[in-house]
Amino acid sequence: MSSLPVCQTLLLELHNGVLHITLNRPENRNAMSLQMVAELRSVLAAVRNDRAVRALVIGGAGGHFCSGGDIKDMASARAQGATAYREMNRAFGALLEETQHAPQVVITVLQGAVLGGGFGLACVSDIALADHQAQFGLPETSLGLLPAQIAPFVVQRIGLTQTRRLALTAARFDGTHARRMGLVHFVEHDPQALAERLDEVLAHVLCCAPGANAMTKKLLLAGAVQPSDELLDQAAEWFSEAVIGEEGVEGTMAFVQKRKPGWAL
């Protein structure tokens, strides 16, 4: 059995071959900090070759999944310039790739805010369960930014035409809408029903041989068009330029100051 890393932003519970990973920054709706990204990647690395870990269940503490990237991290990186933003953004893309290709079955349990990076994490899960009132969205352009690392995975999940609409309007939508567009597989109306659905899904997963599941997942992903390293590297470059540009500065400052950005009508 793998030795799991000690984490400050995650709660880890391994039970009957299922590793439950809870994003645990409830004070800011589990915003994805650099530390959280690093800890998630370390957990994925620790269990990658452990066939005793059959499934990974990712959820969030405090009634929310993940509200996106941590704006405070972006503010602290500002003094370091474009290189820091590029590396920060690209690290999240690496997390998405590593989650997508984890040999275990990855299940996301989506409640409350499922925004930006949280939306991207949902898109790389094998099976997604959502509360009907969960709030999904890609708010990056409303902050003067780009969904740089997320976009290719969203396109892969729900298609180009839906992604264009969502990314270019920063529109919010609920769990029922998410199921209609194929983002999630199951929608439930209360926490008890969500927990029961998770138990049902896990029972089916655990009926399957772990090695066969791992290779089947690899086969299925190989048959789909994959976001390339080159594209994600370019996207990180564009993201860093956006963050330090006029719109990025205005959008992130407006968010921190709880006001509308200058371009908002």
| Residues 105-162 pLDDT 10s | 999 999 999 999 999 999 999 999 999 999 999 999 999 999 999 999 999 999 999 9
CB atoms within 10 A of CB 122: 26
Q: Which residue has the tokens 């991290």?
A: 73
Element (H, E) at 233: helix 229-244
pLDDT at 78 (0 to 100): 66
Instruction: Write out the DSSP string of 169-207.
Output: TT-EE-HHHHHHTTS-SEEESSHHHHHHHHHHHHHHHTT
Largest Cα separation within the chain, whole Å, is 55
Pair 137, 166: CB distance under 8 Å:
yes
Query: In sequence order, which residues have a C-beta less than 8 Å from that of residue 76 and are 6 or more positions away?
Result: none
> Based on the structure, what is the number of domains in the chain?
1
Structure tokens at 114: 């499922």
Distance CA 194, CA 250 (A): 39
Q: What is the domain range of residue 82?
A: 1-190+209-265
195 within a domain of the structure (yes/no): no
Q: To the nearest whole percent, how much of the chain has pLDDT over 70? A: 95
User: pLDDT tens-digit profile of 208-228?
Assistant: 989 889 988 988 887 776 667
204 within a domain of the structure (yes/no): no
- CATH number at 20 reads 3.90.226.10
